[in-house]
Amino acid sequence: MIQQILNGLIIGSMYALVAIGFTLVLGVLDRLNFAHTEIFMLGGFVGLVVIQAGGPLWLTLPVAFGVCGGMGLVVELVCFRRIEGDARITAALSSVAAGLIIDDLLQKVYGTDPPSLPLPGYITDAGVRFLDTHLTYLDLLIVGVTLALMLALQLFVARSRTGRAIRAVADSHVAASLLGINVRRVTQQVFFLSAALAGVAGVLYALRTDIANLQAGLTFGLKALAVMAIGGMGDVRGAVIGGLAVGVLEGLAFYWGLGGYSDLVVWIAMILVLLVRPAGLFGGGVHVRELRA
Amino acid sequence: MIPDYVFFTCDNILLAWSVYAVLLSGNLSFAQAAFMSIGCYAAGILTTQYGFPFYASIPPAMALSAIIAILFGFPALRIRGIYLILVTVGITFIVRVALENMTITGGVHGLFGMSGADQWDAVGAVILVGALLYMVSRSPLQRLLDVVREDDQVAAGLGVNLTYVKLVSFAAGAAIAALAGALYGHYLTFVRPSNFDILVSIFCALYVILGGINNMWGPAFGAAFMTLLPEFIRALQGWRPTVFGVAIIVLLLVRPDGVLPFRTLSARWGRRG
């Protein structure tokens, strides 16, 4: 049982990383970026390319960070920049279309069978033991990287000059631009960050499952979207707690022999949370007001 | 080949209309694959295991799908906009996992042995549903739906029961999707839960966006265009999602109301010139 809870926490930390990307874009720019799920999936393939090219394992993370962040900028340019104002659903749909394109093009290159990642055994098999549980070094790496990224993001948003600009834009686009903040540049920064985090999560997910999977976007990625809704729209803390909670619940579903239903957990939890607290468990701000309007 | 073109075009038109029926009251649904699968499996189980004739299995399947839509929709339709989209995505996944885990549906291996539908059934269904939607578009009901879609607070102020109107349109969309699903299953003779992927839901919604959401011809055009285009232009075969994605993005940039954005001509519209 403890093993399943730990597994849940590891999966959950990846959910959280993807959900943070969703929630950043939604919280700051009031846009839902469906292409985020496919950028997450792309991260796995970036990792595959790096490893196949003979690169060391650690190199996959910064490369995915950069490449997927760049893809985030492309998505922002193509799907979001021209669609202004109140057209949330239009923007969401055009990002759905962008996701379709990314997915289809990758499928053209790699085919429908997920290619496997050649990984050294010392990271996937060896590990530490305590209390009857077994954690591989890979598991520790995943948790370490996600925790480090979350902390770095928190510090970046709370302390840095750019972070202050991001918070100002989240509060009001108009006021921020009157104060001399370049809203377009902040928008790009937010998209880059969000996509880069998804890319790293994609590498970690591909490492954990041993394959770069084309389906990852529409399964794992969309579940992270539900996690975001559970935690609260636009709330980073909610995304983290929601991700870990959902991961643990799924782990427990396996423990109780309901593995076939584990995909249900997150969606049912999301619907229940939205019914009781439409803004999510930790949500606040503009989204609550919009829902009550 | 030709019967295949006709069948899948008609089936996709039905699916696009099922999204349109929900959209009439202002909600975008990504749950149509779920309702399609419910209709498909319900009709399939009735014909293969209970000996129903094909046509007799359709009304119960549509009714079941509508009832399930009401069960999901009654609490969920109070949620709005992007949040409701998330809920409908969730419905697609929930129904698919349920189908994979039930024994009566054959689990992940799928359901075999349905037969009896041909392309003319699909054409007939399109004509029937089209006539129904056309009658709605000329009736006072359309004005009620218009006000609910454009400004639900005004509608509520006018004494319209919002929940009721949205539920009816959600259930109608589910019933139309179930009809498309029943035809689909009995034409293919074999279905698996993976036939009703979230991608199907996404495609159905994008047909509608491509064609335009203001009248019933837009969705039909979008579905027919995207079904037939890759078949007739050889070079595009196998590139369907990319072509579709590019078409949607370009369209949303240059013509956000869809290809056919005009309102259906109604008696009232004609009088005002």
Judge whether A258 is closer than 8 Å to chain B, CB to CB. no
Does the residue B239 lie in any domain? no
- Residue A116 phi/psi, 5-degree rounding, is -95, 150
**A73, pLDDT greater than 90:** yes
What band does B118 get if pLDDT is binned at 50, 70 and 90? confident
What residues in A contact B82, CB-CB < 8 Å?
32, 88-89, 92
pLDDT recorded at residue A127: 67
User: What is the rounded (10 degree) CA torsion for A16, A209, A267, B112?
Assistant: 170
Kindly report, residue by residue over A88-101, the tens digit of the pLDDT.
777 888 888 999 89
Among candidate residues B241, B190, B123, the one with its CA nearest the CA of residue A101: B241
Q: Between residues B69 and A233, which one has the greater pLDDT?
A: B69
Does the residue B153 lie in any domain? yes
pLDDT recorded at residue B180: 94
Q: Do A96 and B89 touch (CB under 8 A)?
A: no
User: Using CB atoms, which residue from A83, A93, A260 is nearest to B209?
Assistant: A93
Q: How many CB pairs under 8 A join A and B?
A: 117
Please compute the mean of the pLDDT values over residues A114-139 and round it to a whole number: 72
Does the residue B167 lie in any domain? yes
Kindly report, residue by residue over A187-196, the tens digit of the pLDDT.
999 999 999 9
pLDDT recorded at residue A121: 64
The span from the CA of B80 to the CA of B100, in Å, is: 29
Q: Please list, in sequence order, all residues whose beta carbon lies within 8 angstroms of the beta carbon of residue A263, skipping any fewer than 6 positions away.
A: A219, A223, B93, B97
| The one-letter amino acid at A194 | S
Q: Is the dihedral of CA A199, A205, A208, A209 positive or negative?
A: negative
The upper half-sphere exposure of residue A247, i.e. CA atoms within 13 Å in the direction of its Cβ, equals 27
Please compute the mean of the pLDDT values over residues A79-87 and round it to a whole number: 74
For residue B194, how many other CB atoms are within 10 A of its CB? Answer: 11
Does the residue B232 lie in any domain? no
- Longest Cα–Cα distance in chain B: 58
* Helical pair B119-137 and B140-150, crossing angle rounded to 10 deg: 80
What band does A4 get if pLDDT is binned at 50, 70 and 90? confident
Q: Do B75 and A275 touch (CB under 8 A)?
A: yes
Kindly report, residue by residue over B146-183, the tens digit of the pLDDT.
888 877 788 888 888 888 888 999 999 999 999 999 99
pLDDT recorded at residue B127: 93
Please compute the mean of the pLDDT values over residues A202-223 and round it to a whole number: 86
**3-state class (DSSP) for residue B114:** coil
Kindly report, residue by residue over A6-55, the tens digit of the pLDDT.
888 988 999 999 999 988 888 888 888 899 999 999 999 998 888 888 87
**3-state class (DSSP) for residue B153:** helix
Q: State which residues form the domain around B30.
A: 2-197
In total, how many domains does chain B have?
Answer: 1
Kindly report, residue by residue over B60-114, the tens digit of the pLDDT.
999 999 999 999 888 887 777 777 888 899 999 999 888 888 878 777 788 887 8
Query: Per residue in B100-131, is it b (16+ CB within 10 Å) or e — as a string?
Result: bbeeebbeeebbeebeebebebbeebbeebbe
Does the residue B229 lie in any domain? no
User: Using CB atoms, which residue from A87, A98, A270 is nearest to B86?
Assistant: A270
| The one-letter amino acid at A83 | I
First to last CA, chain B: 45
Judge whether A250 is closer than 8 Å to chain B, CB to CB. no
Q: Please list, in sequence order, all residues whose beta carbon lies within 8 angstroms of the beta carbon of residue A264, skipping any fewer than 6 positions away.
A: B93, B94, B97, B98
- Percent with pLDDT over 70 in chain A: 90
Judge whether A291 is closer than 8 Å to chain B, CB to CB. yes
- Percent with pLDDT over 70 in chain B: 93
Q: Please list, in sequence order, all residues whose beta carbon lies within 8 angstroms of the beta carbon of residue A183, skipping any fewer than 6 positions away.
A: A169, A173, A176, A177
| The one-letter amino acid at A134 | H
Does the residue B241 lie in any domain? no
- Chain B CA closest to residue A225: B86
pLDDT recorded at residue B263: 57
User: Using CB atoms, which residue from A83, A93, A105 is nearest to B248?
Assistant: A93
What residues in A contact B71, CB-CB < 8 Å?
none
What band does B32 get if pLDDT is binned at 50, 70 and 90? very high
Does the residue B64 lie in any domain? yes
For residue B80, how many other CB atoms are within 10 A of its CB? Answer: 15
